[in-house]
Chain A
Amino acid sequence: MLFCSAQFVLFFLVVFALYWALPWPRVRVWLLLVASFVFYASWSKWLALILGVTTVLDYLIARRLEVSSVPWRRKALLAVSLTVNLGLLCFFKYANFFLRSLEEAVRAAGGQASLPVLELLLPLGISFYTFEAISYTVDVYRRRIRAERNLANFMLFILFFPHLIAGPIVRARDFLPQVARRKRWSWGRLHLGLRYFVLGMFKKLAVADRMALFADPVFSDPGRYGTGALWVAALAYAVQVYCDFSGYTDMALGVAHMLGYKLAPNFRLPYLAPNVAEFWRRWHISLSNWLRDYVFIPLGGSRRGRWRTCLNLMVVMVLGGLWHGARWPCVAFGAWQGAWLCLHRGFRGWSGRRPRLDALLRSPLGTVLQVALTFVTFCCALVVFRAPTLADGGAMLAGMFAGRAGSGTPMHMESFLVLLAVVIAGHALAASGLGDRLLARLPAPLRGFAYATAMSLALLLVPETNKAFIYFQF
């Protein structure tokens, strides 16, 4: 069930009505748990079963971790949890990638290889809930949090349907106390949830899916298109992936709010970041924080000198790239980001020792140029990320910078320019806080009608080729 499908709307209306009609907190928890299973099982009943089993296993392991004080036993329990979770993730997501890569490597070395291709159904959301489970067992192991005693509460933490499929990656310490807390009906909360949902729906249907009409045809056959069309496609994909993912997150936050739960925001205007480090503090915040806390810091973080810090950054970003997909372009994307982060650290240190340059960079013009450079660099990295192969990505980048004749954009430019203007205006309103202030000042009827219009507009502008959320495949 996609969030913006009639099926989900009906499903949610039933869950929402039952949830607030039932006055008993425990019953509400069970209702949400059942609803979450139904939500996931609508894709695959067997995978829902696997998810249920692994969740129960993590619950039991965490309970044992808490009571055990023997170091080797605690390490062993943690190892079991990590092995099961990462093992399933690697098997479902990366097995074919590794087999294919091994086969290509053997062939490149002159040998003969014909390895099997496993026909696997990738469990939706596996990258997300696996990381949540790992963060939980590691935090219990480190004694940062207590193990959850109530199985239903813990299962809800992993399976809560608003964040189950595409995040945000929730931490137990943020979510579990909310499960235990009694929820009271709040119109203000419902309004906030509705606002998030409408915003997310508009971003996904009217913007992201429309931008795909400019990106998809070009990425599937870049050799046909001229430089202008290639740049439009790169820009369109940058807007598409942002609006798609942040749109989904907004809808997830909105649905959670409507049920009385608060999930952390996952984006903070990343395209306005002045440098790559700040960008990754604003883009997919929950994943960046997870990688920082469970990979970067355990590797030593930035405490072991410049070169070790760079190595740690490369490892983290390559893993981050691999998390997005079992493909070499994703790995290359991660490596590019890692290299850019290392370069930024070096440049920051160097410019910090030059006060005039530093002042110039902090000036309004300097900030604008930094923001533009960060955005353009990320766009180019996304070209590699989106391309079917590294060679295709390289060819497309060459076409973008070398100046080449070819076909124009696949669609009339008006829709692209209008939507780009809408996205830019949206960013400006959000960054200045003017959007919130304007909305707060509007009379309630006008505000409500504005939401209704935004939803109807989103429904009107959905392209005929409906698309699933991009991050579902991760």
Chain B
Amino acid sequence: MKRDRRLTLSGRATVVWCLLGFAGLQLLGLALTGDCLPADRIDRPYGEKLALLEARRARDPGRPLVLMLGSSRIYNGVRPGLLSASDSATPGTPLLFNFGLTGQGALQELLCLRRLLARGVRPRLVFVEVVPSLLHHKTAAENLPVECLTWDDLAVLSRYAASPAALYWNWHLSRTAPWFTFRSSFLSRAERCGVLRGWEQRRAGGVDDLGWGEMLPPCDRAEYERDLARARADHSRGLQVVGVAPTTDRALRDLLALCRREGIEAALLVMPEAKVFQSWYAPAARAAGDAYLRGLSEEKGVALIDARDWVPDDEFRDGHHLLATGARTFTERFGREALSPLMARAGRHDPGTPATRRRLWRTDG
């Protein structure tokens, strides 16, 4: 009986201290991160690109920034380093930077630009990628990884969430386990202190100092066919569906309106697609997507660059991501036919006054 009582008391005490200890450690974790952790620390891909951009701008101050916002198509497909102007240290020549991030759609592009502007990064010209086969996709704000979002991001995204309460709930839930949510940040800090070296996962393959990375290296025929089939499966619905998701449309319009407000020249860009990829479009879906983009371009007074036919099929990795050679083909033509004329146009506009942080988080679009 005495032993049983001892075991009971010991068991109870252990459980209670475990729960208290766990809660205490999570509070410590929150205190170490707090809500002050900026986006570049908790959203690693964004942070890596931002660090490269700021390093480059520090090297070449005074050069007007041209930003490429988009998905992995941009990430793989735009090689700013190939354009002679990118290497020039002459003030006034544009600095083209590839800010493509995997999986980035219209909503994430809007969020990305807001974050950059809040950071004081003011581009002269922004190319906004649009993926026609994903226009139908309901980019739900609730589906974005909440661990990568700051409190300020939530204020922006709540306008696009079907259930803002769910968005906030998920965000708070992720903060109940800060050691998990911010583990990448903690491991980076530990590594900088000389502890736990090499524990943080690094993405395979480098990114150059202007943001281009070769995510998908060349492959053999069998792997190409597999990846092509996967691309078809991933985009199959969008290639058939007519229509644009309201959230996507609103995010695009708000992004273009933001550019106008901030005096930033904007252009819509459709990246190259292989002929085989284009052959999968249902005619009605293709026509509707093209009509939408033309209408948006005219309504907002922004250029539309449809580069789908710019690159031959053999320079694609999987029908819609470019190989390094395809990125060269695209970038060189892009520099001649899009960048130069639009930079000239942007040069005629007044860049406008810098936005204050309060204006950036205004919710009137």
**A→B interface (CB under 8 Å):** 6, 186-192, 194, 198, 213, 217, 410-415, 444-445, 447-449, 451-453, 455-457, 459-465
Contacts and interface: CB of A to CB of B under 8 A. Distances in A.
B11 A462 contact: no
B17 A456 contact: no
A451 B183 contact: no
A460 B15 contact: no
A444 B25 contact: no
Contacts of B166: none
A415 B183 CA distance: 15
B7 interface: yes
Given A187-B8, A459-B179, A459-B183, A451 B14 contact: yes
A190 B10 CA distance: 11
A382 B15 CA distance: 38
Interface string B10-53: 11111111111110111001000000000000000000000000
B45 to A, nearest CB: 11
Nearest to B22: A452
Nearest to B201: A464
A462 B8 contact: no
Interface string B176-212: 1101100110110000000011110100100000000
Nearest to A205: B180
Nearest to B186: A460
Contacts of A189: 11
Contact of A194 (B15, B25, B183): B15
B197 A449 contact: no
Contacts of B17: 444-445, 447-449, 452
A451 B187 contact: no
A410 B203 CA distance: 11
A337 B253 CA distance: 63
B180 A459 contact: yes
A186 B14 CA distance: 13
B177 A448 contact: no
Closest 8 CB pairs of A and B: A412-B198, A448-B17, A452-B21, A444-B13, A191-B11, A187-B11, A448-B18, A459-B180
B173 interface: yes
Contact of A462 (B12, B176, B180, B204): B180
A411 B26 contact: no
Given A456-B29, A460-B187, A6 B199 contact: no
Interface in B270-318: none
Contacts of B10: 188, 191, 444
Q: Is the interface of A mostly helix, strand, loop or mixed?
A: helix
A415 B16 CA distance: 32
B7 A188 contact: yes
B26 A456 contact: yes
A465 B184 CA distance: 12
B14 A447 contact: yes
A38 B176 CA distance: 25
Nearest to B21: A452
Contacts of B22: 451-452, 455-456
Given A415-B198, A452-B18, 18 more contacts: A186-B8, A187-B15, A188-B8, A190-B11, A198-B18, A411-B201, A414-B197, A444-B14, A451-B14, A453-B21, A453-B25, A455-B22, A456-B22, A459-B179, A459-B183, A461-B199, A462-B180, A464-B201
User: In this complex, which of B7, B12, B15, B196 has the most chain A Cβ atoms within 10 angstroms of its Cβ?
Assistant: B15
A229 B18 CA distance: 39
Contacts of A190: 11, 15
Scoring B13, B20, B186 by chain A CB atoms within 10 A of each residue's CB, the highest score goes to B13
Contacts of A460: 179-180, 183, 186-187
Nearest to B25: A456
Contacts of B197: 412, 414
B173 A6 contact: yes
Given A460-B179, A465-B201, A445 B24 contact: no
B219 to A, nearest CB: 11
A198 B51 CA distance: 38
B183 A191 contact: no
18 contacts: A188-B11, A189-B11, A191-B11, A192-B11, A414-B197, A444-B9, A444-B13, A447-B14, A447-B17, A449-B17, A449-B21, A452-B22, A452-B24, A452-B25, A459-B177, A459-B179, A460-B179, A461-B183
A453 B180 CA distance: 13
Contacts of A411: 198, 201
A457 B16 CA distance: 19
B201 A451 contact: no
Given A190-B11, A190-B15, A445-B13, A463 B201 contact: yes
A187 B12 contact: yes
A62 B269 CA distance: 67
A346 to B, nearest CB: 43
A413 B186 CA distance: 19
Nearest to A419: B199
A244 B22 CA distance: 23
Contact of A451 (B8, B9, B21): B21
Nearest to A457: B179
B30 to A, nearest CB: 12
A190 B20 CA distance: 16
Contact of B14 (A413, A448, A465): A448
